[in-house]
Structure 1
Amino acid sequence: MSVLAESAVGHDELAVLKLLALEGGLEGDVKISCSRLAERLDASNQTASRRLQRLETATLLERDTVSDGQWVAITEEGERVLRAEYEEYRRIFETGTEIELDGTVTSGMGEGRHYISLSGYKRQFEERLGYEPFPGTLNVELREESVRRRSAVASLEPIPIDGWEDEERTYGPAVCQPATIETATGETYEGAHTIAPERTHHDEDQLELIAPDKLREELDLADGDHVTVYVGEEDGGPASPAESTADGGDER
């Protein structure tokens, strides 16, 4: 699902958001009148006002109306939408686009080991990722800037992991993207994948990674260590696993 669909606004509203960003709306409040905005958009005052209202309702901007106009500021959610759009244009005009995410290693709740080992997921990992993952995830708590940047991952083509069910319960679908991990000492690991449940809302500040090896041992990592994760696309396709892994399953 695209970011625009999630926020319930269309491309006309996105054009307004971009214009406000160019006016300085990402740095703080900017003052603009509906007549001036309408002139920039080549639209009526009513149309300009309606688009601002939709952006405000979608929590993409905040505004304060005064007698001679209004003060507007783009919210963090609005910046997330613009960043995702930016990443899609990068995919059009640049090759080998990667999204860089920074964070620190943290312990999860230990559930990843169980879910990644379930047969319904494991079979798909082997078929679609090309390996059987180590039973556990490397959990990374993202820094604030990377939490905002993470929305751009939605513009990448995922590797889908289908939901399935057994006699006891139903297991949800997930998505993966290829990832390379770099430590603070310059050690790198290629061939890992991010994994997240296929749903709109999950812990945006938590990133989970799987690989055929135990990443903590391969990269000599401990809780609190800084890592940079480069998320990209496979040549030709999609990415990763399970509903409950987003709740965290650390490598043990």
Structure 2
Amino acid sequence: MADPLALGIVLGSGLGPLADRVVVRDTISFADAGLPSSSVQGHAGRFLIGSLGSREVIVMQGRIHLYEGHGAKAVTAGIRWMHDRGVRHVILTNAAGTLNESHAPGTWMMLADHLNLTGTSPLEGGPHFIDMTRVYDEAAAGEFQAVASRLGITLHQGVYAGLRGPQYETPAEIRMLRTLGADAVGMSTVLEAIQARALGMKVTAFSCLTNWAAGMSPELLDHSDVLATGKAAADEMLRLLEEWCGS
């Protein structure tokens, strides 16, 4: 069963169309919420307050990144904003490159764990020793896996490596990440997950696998391709979320 408390959803690159099915009661821009605006294409920079299926939701349409010149506290301000408004379970989504040859582009991966390789933390400034043994809620993961199976949606599970960006990784860096056990790589999510756990929130996260990581394909990486693949895969995630919200 879905958690009865308020649900927050963060939409990553190219996944803005997921918000189209939300019955919106109110829209608040990042600026009006006291957050920096996002400068990245595919990130609208606003909160949508309303409902998805039978659930009350706050949807964060877009996010702020370290590579835009912001610090870890600014990057995670949206998580704190949603928590202050009653969100106790946050679902994070992102676009990521796949490092796992069995996880093809165009499919989804649910995060089982992560590698924080950003070099920072939103908890800096004090002895905030938060246990990170189980960042991603195992009970919710089991529910989503069951829903995906029922709907015939391929849903991988794996380890996400969060880097600072904005440049994509080199083939040598990808080989390093594979050695470290990463299945996907991106430039977001890990700091938000850390902040959410520090606030006692449940966390679930999904990567839309938009492309093979550097060196795994002869194709060069381009942000427009990331956006296009994210939009094409958004329908599957929408079906998964709507079904889960109604369960």
TM category, shorter: under 0.3
Q: Report which structure shows greater RCO (CA 8 Å, sep ≥6).
A: 2
Larger helix share, 1 or 2:
1
TM-score, with structure 2 as normaliser: 0.23
TM-score, with structure 1 as normaliser: 0.22
